[in-house]
Amino acid sequence: MILITSAGGKTGRAMIEEFAQSEEPVRVIMRRRDMDDELSALGAAEVFHGDLANVADMSAAAAGCRAIYFICPNMVEDEGIIAQSVIAAAKSAEVERLIFHSVLHTQVQALRHHWARLFVEEAIIESGVPFSILQVGSYYQNMLPSWDKMLETGEHGMAYEVEAEMALVDLKDVSEAANRIVNDPGCVNGIFEICGPVITLVQKAAILTRVLGCKIEAKKLPVDKVIAHAANMGISDFGQDCMRRMFAHYDIHGLVGSPRVLEWIIGRPPTDFETFARRIIRLRADAE
């Protein structure tokens, strides 16, 4: 059995489906109590309610599991505390592997939440627990909440420069890679850069124009407006500061990486954006 933390988000949900489809029993831990049926439908065999920062809760959740897939809530100030709790649980359960779902370029101080994960990675490496660390790029799926608005306005927008280069990745590729890494003894104590081919908003808009058959233009969204929306959604002051720093850094540097590691892991080139977009169009048509 594998324990997945922060299971209610898009990453956790993708991991539940991936591991369950490969007949790996999945236990999840989360605070919320209103998603049990939904997570069970995705394939979770057990849903445990608890606080990731509480060592007793984490240790109870990890008991009997062969591995922990550690997803930390994004842009939270107590990530180091949560990490220590997860590490303690991994030791208590004597897991075969602690897999940390990290982020691309933890070395960059300007990216406040990326930099915080560098120290989580350090703590895991020094813990003595067998580990694998996935340094994951931004997802194609991050655009999906605004898909309908894009069709309505003819604009594909993000809060960074339209020519910024981003090594975006399909979350389905990430979950497939995670499953392979968890089940490959040769990946113990490895750190893996997980991202797709570099693409800009302008290039994405050109692809969307072609596959949708209507004009889509790239647009840089006002950062203040995006962060105000995040605040209304409950993002903390710490998270808002992380977002502001992130978009400013992306404007200049983007977020780039090499897709070759992911290609090696999954045995094929990572999914490109056009393939992803066509899949979404097909799925939406099937759902109508």
Q: Quote the CA–CA distance of 64 and 52 in Å, as a whole number.
A: 17
**Residue 107: inside a domain:** yes
Task: Judge whether residue 11 has pLDDT over 80.
Answer: yes
Residue 211 lies in a domain: no
131 in any annotated domain: yes
Residue 253: the pLDDT is 97
Q: How far apart are CA 112 and CA 135, in angstroms?
A: 15
According to the model, what pLDDT value does residue 227 have? 94
Count of structural domains within the chain: 1
For the segment 180-208, the average pLDDT, to the nearest whole number, is: 97
Confidence of residue 195 (pLDDT cuts 50, 70, 90): very high
In a domain, 157, yes or no: no
Give pLDDT, residue 174: 98
Dihedral (CA of 258, 260, 265, 268) sign: positive
State the distance between the two ends of the chain, measured CA to CA, in whole angstroms: 36
Q: Which is it for the CA torsion 48, 100, 266, 9, positive or negative?
A: positive
The whole-number pLDDT of residue 153 equals 96
Asked if residue 212 is part of any domain, the answer here is: no
pLDDT digits (tens, 9 = 90+) for 29-39: 998 888 999 99
Q: Which domain holds residue 121?
A: 2-136+171-194+258-270
Q: Is 144 within a domain?
A: no
Please write the tens of the pLDDT for every residue from 54-79.
999 999 999 999 999 999 998 999 99
Q: What is the CATH number of the domain that holds 67?
A: 3.40.50.720
Residue 62 lies in a domain: yes
- Which stretches does DSSP call E strand in 6-123? 26-30, 46-49, 67-70, 97-103
Tally Cβ neighbours within 10 Å of residue 209: 15
Angle of the 10-21 helix axis to the 171-182 helix axis, nearest 10: 50
DSSP assignment, residue 2? E
* pLDDT at residue 288 greater than cutoff 90: no
23: confidence class by pLDDT, cuts 50, 70, 90: confident
- Given this model, what pLDDT does residue 202 score? 98
Per-residue pLDDT averaged across 158-182, rounded? 97
234: in domain: no
Confidence of residue 274 (pLDDT cuts 50, 70, 90): very high
E-strand spans in 186-265? 190-194, 198-199, 217-220
Q: pLDDT tens digit string along 99-143? A: 999 999 999 999 999 999 999 999 999 999 999 999 999 999 999
* Phi, psi dihedrals of residue 248, rounded to the nearest 5°: -65, -40
